[in-house]
Amino acid sequence: MRPRWPDGEPQQVHLDLYVDDIRAAHEHALAAGAVLLQAADGPHGFQVYEDPVGHPFCLCWGA
């Protein structure tokens, strides 16, 4: 069953990927087929994406 975030079947695990350049990482994720699910902005934070088969992951930045 395809995962659904944030409501749906519980996830066993998801990845938090810490990046130095959120803009470049965001563009790379989208080019690889990810979909942005929850945007954030600021000197630190995270954005939630799903990969092409629906698994959630986060791009995180800052302290």
pLDDT at 14: 81
What pLDDT is recorded for position 10? 66
Closest C-alpha to 16, from 27, 25, 7, 3: 25
pLDDT at 1: 63
Are 4 and 14 contacting, i.e. CB atoms less than 8 angstroms apart? no
With 0-12 / 13-18 / 19 or more C-beta atoms within 10 angstroms meaning exposed / middle / buried, residue 3 is: middle
Mean pLDDT, contiguous 10-residue spans, the chain (63 residues): 71 85 96 95 87 91 83
pLDDT of res. 60? 96
Phi, psi of 50, deg, nearest 5: -125, 145
pLDDT score, position 12:
67
Quick one: tokens of 53? Answer: 């088969």
